[in-house]
A and B are shown apart, each in its own frame.
Chain A
Amino acid sequence: MSKRVFHHPEVSADDSGVASWRSVGELERTPSFRAHVEREFPEGSGHLSPEDQKATRRSFMKLMGASSALSGLTLVSCRRPESYIVPYKKAPEWVIPGKPLYYASTRPRAEGSVPLVVTTYEGRPTTLAPNGDHNDGCGADALTQASVLNLYDPKRSRNFLRDGKKASQRDFEGVLGSLAREGAKLAVVVGEDDSPTRNRLRDEIVQAYPESKFYTYEALCGEARRRVQNEVFGEGSQTVVDFSKAERILSLDCDFLGVDPVGSASDFSRKRQGGGETYHQDVAADAMNRLYMVESVFSLTGGMADHRLRAKPSQMAAIAAQVAIGLGITVDGYDAGCLSDEEKAELLGTAATFDSWILECVADLKAHKGSAVVLAGSRHEEDLQRIVIAINREIGSYGGPMVVYETGRTGYGTIADFEADVDEETIVLLLGPSNPVYDRPGEQFRRGLSRSKLSIHLGVRTDATALACDWHIPAAHYLESWGDTRTATGTYSLTQPMILPLYGGFSELEILSQLLSWRQFDWDSLESEGAEEQVVPPTLIAGEGMGGAPSPALAEVRQTFSLPENANDDGDVAWKEALKGGYLQSSSYQTVDADGAGDPTPKLSSRENTGIEINLLPDASVWDGRYIDNGWLQEAPDPISKLSWDNAALVSPKTAKELGVYESVEQLEPETEIPLLGKVKNAPQPSIGEGKGAKAPMALIKTRSGRMEIPVLVAFGHADDCISIALGYGQGASDGRDGVRVVREEDPLATVSPVGINTGFNANQLRGDASFSIEAIEVTKTQGRYPVALVQEHNAMNGRALAREISTNDVEHHGHKVSFEDQVAKVREQGPVDSHAPENVSLYKRRGSTTWEGDKDKQDDLISDKIHQWGMTIDLNTCVGCNACLIACQAENNIPIVGKEQVAMGREMHWVRMDRYFASPMTEMDEKTHKKIATPDWVQQNPEMIPQPVSCMQCENAPCETVCPVNATVHSEEGLNTMAYNRCIGTRYCANNCPYKARRFNYFDYNKRNPLVAHNLYKGPFGKKQVGEAPHLQRNPNVSVRMRGVMEKCTYCVQRLESAKIKQKQIGRMKTLQAGRKSTDVQIKPEDLRVKADSIKVACQDACEANAVSFGNLLDKEDAQVWRAKYKGEKKTKSGAFELVHNPRNYDVLQYIGTAPRTSYLARVKNPNPTMPDAVYRGLATINTA
């Protein structure tokens, strides 16, 4: 019997001129994509590769022989195995075995530290969640979430190194101690984060070591922006945007929701909801903010934008200048540097359209004086920064949404100062998190290092800088050390250690403190004979001193904390309070009078019309390269390009066609030269879809300073004649790839661990100076091809109106205008047949059924619980698609990584799949002729982007449950579609039957066998195991670690639900104790057993900065946010029964197939400016696929 294919209803031809797609393959409708959609898993994911098959067959007999021999051994020699319970000798305070402990801490970060709540189990930190009680508490981004894995990295640096070889701490202390004794000249480079204790120690060290100086360096923190701000607002100033006050935002290549944070993204989302953030009321169009975005490559912020303009990086300042001129600001050199009419026409069809785009945008900013804000990307040069400050002053941003703070980051030199200052007498100390030998362009830095008397590096990895320095010291992770930080707005926050340094690393403060104690130590006492007690010079302490004495860093932090400008109290009360909450109450930076500060002197340099530009940007996974050894981040697909484990050159479809790459990305009808016949077209042969064997074409890029060969991917919405490459990759490779440092895989001192080896290409080699946009001299397609792990087509869901979008403007529908209110009301009908779908007849509420239970009393309770019914909503209006939920889920639910080859085959295990769709209107109604005509090219080339996180929807009529032959996936009384992993036999029928493709199968023992060793997974028991390695300490003890052959999926963090419910069950004992009565007299009602409304947060919800995920008990009704997101209220029907009234913006995905999912979505609302030329094309991105 052939496979029965479900036919989705047709999209009516009249309905929509909007095309939506995920990938080139889908846009071009290639056979390979169609195969993806129709298959249960990507092709090849269920098969062994021929190579591995061979290996398996050959080794089969070996394996059998070995395993029977082994089992014989155990039978003969072993007694029945005993297992042990080893309790503490003396239980630490607060630790209850089996229960987590939560501590407040903060992650230091250049843009302001991130307040966190760390979950620990018996001393092991396992997950990080944002600290909601902190007054600067925002979400926890993917990088923060994943940083806990770095703590357990088994390849973390653990030895002192001298010239790249193992050395001892004693030797190091001998060398540095003697130099300290003389009071040498120090040059200390630290990170860009602000630490009050470090600032204090800096001052003391500069006094103790004359001529010493401190510098800051991080590759991606906007040197030019800092420079201009320091000049205009004073040294150490920092601009923070309060998005709760920002009504209109114009962002010039500032990805503030992604990799370029300038303020709380939570506030932005709240403002995005137009007063409906708690779902007590609907989105009000006039209360929504509006975002204009000008950028080169699609960013997460660009996806949220109401209006988006593609432009090359070099045009950014000119666009800003045109805005400034529109506001009446004089910009020096405007005439020479402004955009020519041809350039404008290239961007938006005609120069007139472009001018009107800018004009209307300016008018909108003007109309919102005091609540509008213009943002400049941190990587851009001084011109843009100066113009933007002038604009913000003109539109009254300062004092409104923009606040300039005076940070403690004063008195530090820049990296350029450092390069100039280092001489033969200098001792260089590199204490920061960055890797300047790798990412500082030019030779100056390296020369400085070799010129110095001695160079010392402190770091968690033995990266390029560690090996280039004379000495390397292993560093402690921030979860292992004491410290203090300031958030973006300057709240004094504490970092406290959760665990002693796993690998004996030292913290920055411990090193600085040690430098002082060496200086203060009376060295002569060592030589004086006849002293009563033996004197020893102070030694470096990692985490804990002799006899459990605390780290000197603690004493230093406490001293700073007690200072008058901070707590002004050296007692225990304020300190303990601050430790408990993670921060010091009412501490903040001083604000700067921004309007009264200096003149930014806006100017525009003249531009030459360059050829192809290279746009270098931070990577959402590895940032500047420091997370290259983090498996979670590497495997998390890039939010836009959906590429995991690598970086690539991203180009627009037009540029790709010009380079001759587009056709080979998706070779539609390849031509073959046949003698005599000439060129013959073959049948379509997609050479790169996705899945096994997907290979991207390579291009050779040359700039004045360097060259590199890199795979090319087509990126929709990218500026033409521009190539975007993410930084941070290509730090070490064993396959001899071009321009990447060669490392051996087994080398413990390699610059990258087995996670980061052979990942990506180093774009820093194209740079000659600190600039992030470079002109390319030559870009040519080469013959090379590079295997890529692209995931967007994997588990591709297929159907109508998957993600839905509406506009606050009137939109054209069937020839008439539909108002915003009507659009909201019709969200549920956007899927063509949703409105005709039958009423939900749930399988699980069959009252009076005697199928399972004869006892009448039990029937209802066992089938549908009356205390808890769980549900979830995901609000596409605020979801930016940042991957934070994906990583949080991975940390909470023990989800393994599978490695690049396995991802390419479609075997990734992420329970949350972050779908990303592009959509743009391809046809429109001509106003005069009333006929359909194609939309302008600039509209088609600038699609909208919609992210949609999809995990198991917990269908009430779950198709997976009915096909499981062993009842391993069954429904719970509380509406969950649960998995009994130990029951699963791996038929994969359930995944085949899941319309949302939300199930993941463990093809191998990813948890037990290291997937990063080549062919390891195919070696069975001979494979290299990773059980007992450090990352296993991160596992959540309340979740099963799944093995090979088991299907797994999201279960709404059932472990969190269970523990909350069980905690609630203590109520019987509590009531008895309180009432002082006999327990038999105390009655416990169902309400007593109900967990307090909205008190449980699931992992993805917890992590979401945008508050896009609502989860809770639907039986809490109005008290639960999730209920309000789903329903507006109840109404009485004619028959007298109560019926729920839906929240109009809420809809079920694929409602028409009748699965009745518990997870529903809320449509995205775009708020375009009706006077803008592109307003009619926005807000139409409702996704229909296949």
Chain B
Amino acid sequence: MANFFPRWTNILPLKIAVCLGVAGASVVVGFTYYATPKAQRVGYMPSQPIPYDHALHVNQLGMDCRYCHSFVEHSGHANVPSASTCWNCHQHVRKDSDKLQPLRRAFDKDYEKYDGEPIKWVRIHQSPDYVFFNHSAHVNRGVSCESCHGKVNEMKVVYQAEAHSMGWCLDCHRNPEKHLRPLEEVYNLDYDAKEWLAENKMVHPETGKELKSQKDLGLYLKQHWNIKAKESCWTCHR
């Protein structure tokens, strides 16, 4: 009996399998890369027009978050500073650095390359349009920047530290005590509850027990400040 199939068909199933595998893998990889919600891409670290170094400004120079993100206590948005804020210092400090070129192009009218175009910072943390997150509601109730943005004070280049998924939001809304801290410490990103409690001895007014851990303090603050983090949809979606 003659060979019904030519010889080359012997490896055809293998070829098909490999092709399908590659195709499937590329779909999966492509989908993960492009279609993962922007709120959840942990580690996203784009390069910025000015390589602003948070570690330098906060930890070495001791600047407060609110010097630049000035409206975080008042508004839903934590604003990115206007060029004039940078210029307050940088008209005196390292004005001629190459890194500051975009700032001078935007603001320094005496600069030969001045074009008045504002600086376009690359957005890192992006919640979807149907999420109405409000910064002031959180920082005024004892939730620190660090809880969502990580230790920005140690970042030379800012990256996304936490996956801002809805489940992640709800984790905290269900158990806010894990993150509550005294209002004075909200912008102190090196805060440690145990150290703070060691310095500021606190006793629970009802049980009389000394507060020792973040959980103790968090539960106390939650009750003392009447914090009832909502879990219903309208809290964030409207």
On whether the two chains bind one another, the answer is: yes
Question: Residues of A with Cβ closer than 8 Å to B?
Answer: 75, 80, 82-91, 96-99, 861-862, 865, 967, 970-973, 976, 978-983, 1038-1041, 1051, 1054-1055, 1058-1059, 1062, 1065-1066, 1068-1069, 1072, 1078-1080, 1082-1086, 1088-1089
Chain A residue at smallest Cβ distance from B141: A1065
B73 to chain A, nearest CB (A): 7
Cβ–Cβ < 8 Å partners of A91 in chain B: 82, 84
Contact B238 A1054 (CB under 8 A): yes
B4 within 8 A of A: no
Contact A1068 B237 (CB under 8 A): no
Question: In the assembly, what is the distance between CA of A1040 and CA of B119, in Å?
Answer: 28
Main secondary structure of the interface of A (DSSP, over half): loop
Main secondary structure of the interface of B (DSSP, over half): loop
A129 to chain B, nearest CB (A): 20
Contact B234 A1085 (CB under 8 A): no
B231 within 8 A of A: yes
From A87, A862, A865, give the contact of B82 (CB < 8 A): A87
Contact A89 B183 (CB under 8 A): no
Contact A980 B233 (CB under 8 A): yes
Question: If A91-B84, A970-B232 touch, does A84 touch B120 (CB 8 Å cutoff)?
Answer: yes
Question: If A80-B33, A1062-B137 touch, does A88 touch B83 (CB 8 Å cutoff)?
Answer: yes
Q: Among the listed stretches B51-59, B89-97, B145-153, B221-229, which one makes contact with chain A, having 4 or more residues with CB under 8 Å of it?
A: B221-229
Contact B184 A1079 (CB under 8 A): yes
Question: In the assembly, what is the distance between CA of A954 and CA of B144, in Å?
Answer: 35
Cβ–Cβ < 8 Å partners of A75 in chain B: 30, 34
A-B pairs with beta carbons under 8 A, tally? 162
A1008 to chain B, nearest CB (A): 13
**Which positions 117-163 of chain B face chain A at CB distance < 8 Å?**
118-123, 126, 128-130, 132, 134, 136-137, 140-142
The 5 closest A-B pairs by CB, nearest first: A98-B77, A1079-B183, A978-B234, A980-B233, A982-B130
B43 within 8 A of A: no
B15 within 8 A of A: no
Cβ–Cβ < 8 Å partners of B165 in chain A: none
From B80, B122, B182, B238, give the contact of A1058 (CB < 8 A): B238
**Which positions 30-57 of chain B face chain A at CB distance < 8 Å?**
30, 33-34, 38, 46
From B83, B230, B238, give the contact of A973 (CB < 8 A): B230
Chain B residue at smallest Cβ distance from A75: B30
Question: In the assembly, what is the distance between CA of A179 and CA of B226, in Å?
Answer: 74
Question: In the assembly, what is the distance between CA of A982 and CA of B129, in Å?
Answer: 10
Cβ–Cβ < 8 Å partners of A1084 in chain B: 224-226
Question: If A981-B130, A1062-B137, A1066-B140 touch, does A97 touch B71 (CB 8 Å cutoff)?
Answer: yes
Contact B224 A98 (CB under 8 A): no
Contact A84 B74 (CB under 8 A): no
Contact A98 B76 (CB under 8 A): yes
Question: In the assembly, what is the distance between CA of A1054 and CA of B237, in Å?
Answer: 10
Question: In the assembly, what is the distance between CA of A981 and CA of B130, in Å?
Answer: 8
B100 within 8 A of A: no
Contact A89 B30 (CB under 8 A): no
CB pairs A–B below 8 angstroms (30 shown): A80-B33, A80-B34, A83-B122, A84-B120, A85-B122, A86-B120, A87-B83, A88-B83, A89-B82, A89-B83, A89-B106, A90-B107, A97-B71, A97-B77, A98-B75, A865-B228, A967-B233, A970-B233, A979-B237, A1038-B238, A1040-B129, A1051-B234, A1054-B238, A1055-B132, A1066-B140, A1068-B183, A1078-B200, A1080-B200, A1088-B226, A1089-B226
B21 within 8 A of A: no
- Produce 1/0 per residue, B180-194, CB < 8 A to A: 001110000000000
Question: Residues of B with Cβ closer than 8 Å to A?
Answer: 30, 33-34, 38, 46, 71, 73-77, 79-84, 106-107, 116, 118-123, 126, 128-130, 132, 134, 136-137, 140-142, 182-184, 200, 202, 220-221, 224-226, 228, 230-234, 237-238
Q: Chain A CB within 10 Å — which of B106, B118, B202 has the most?
A: B118
Cβ–Cβ < 8 Å partners of A1040 in chain B: 129-130, 237-238
Question: In the assembly, what is the distance between CA of A96 and CA of B71, in Å?
Answer: 7
Question: In the assembly, what is the distance between CA of A84 and CA of B124, in Å?
Answer: 9
Question: If A1062-B137, A1072-B183 touch, does A87 touch B225 (CB 8 Å cutoff)?
Answer: no
Contact B184 A1078 (CB under 8 A): yes
Chain A residue at smallest Cβ distance from B135: A98
Chain A residue at smallest Cβ distance from B120: A84
Cβ–Cβ < 8 Å partners of B107 in chain A: 89-90
Question: If A1066-B136, A1080-B182 touch, does A97 touch B130 (CB 8 Å cutoff)?
Answer: no
A124 to chain B, nearest CB (A): 15
Question: In the assembly, what is the distance between CA of A1173 and CA of B91, in Å?
Answer: 86
Chain A residue at smallest Cβ distance from B232: A972
A549 to chain B, nearest CB (A): 18
Chain A residue at smallest Cβ distance from B231: A862
Cβ–Cβ < 8 Å partners of A1038 in chain B: 132, 238
Question: If A87-B82, A87-B121, A1078-B182 touch, does A97 touch B75 (CB 8 Å cutoff)?
Answer: yes
Contact A1069 B234 (CB under 8 A): no
Chain A residue at smallest Cβ distance from B130: A982
B210 to chain A, nearest CB (A): 14
Chain B residue at smallest Cβ distance from A99: B75
Contact A1068 B123 (CB under 8 A): no
Known: A99-B74, A865-B228, A1084-B226. 7 other contacts (CB 8 A): A84-B123, A85-B121, A85-B123, A86-B118, A97-B75, A862-B232, A1065-B136
Chain A residue at smallest Cβ distance from B131: A982
Contact A1069 B73 (CB under 8 A): yes
Cβ–Cβ < 8 Å partners of A82 in chain B: 46, 122-123
Cβ–Cβ < 8 Å partners of A85 in chain B: 80, 120-123
B51 to chain A, nearest CB (A): 16
Question: In the assembly, what is the distance between CA of A389 and CA of B126, in Å?
Answer: 67
Cβ–Cβ < 8 Å partners of B230 in chain A: 862, 973
Q: Chain B CB within 10 Å — which of A75, A1079, A1082 has the most?
A: A1079
Question: In the assembly, what is the distance between CA of A1164 and CA of B137, in Å?
Answer: 42
Contact A89 B46 (CB under 8 A): no
Contact B182 A1079 (CB under 8 A): yes
Contact B122 A1085 (CB under 8 A): no
From B140, B226, B231, give the contact of A1085 (CB < 8 A): B226
Question: If A87-B80, A97-B75, A1068-B140 touch, does A1062 touch B134 (CB 8 Å cutoff)?
Answer: yes
Contact A973 B132 (CB under 8 A): no
Question: In the assembly, what is the distance between CA of A980 and CA of B233, in Å?
Answer: 6
Chain B residue at smallest Cβ distance from A866: B228
Cβ–Cβ < 8 Å partners of B81 in chain A: 87
Question: In the assembly, what is the distance between CA of A970 and CA of B137, in Å?
Answer: 23
Cβ–Cβ < 8 Å partners of B38 in chain A: 83
Question: In the assembly, what is the distance between CA of A98 and CA of B123, in Å?
Answer: 16
Cβ–Cβ < 8 Å partners of A1059 in chain B: 76
Contact A1068 B225 (CB under 8 A): yes
Contact B140 A1069 (CB under 8 A): yes
Contact B232 A973 (CB under 8 A): yes
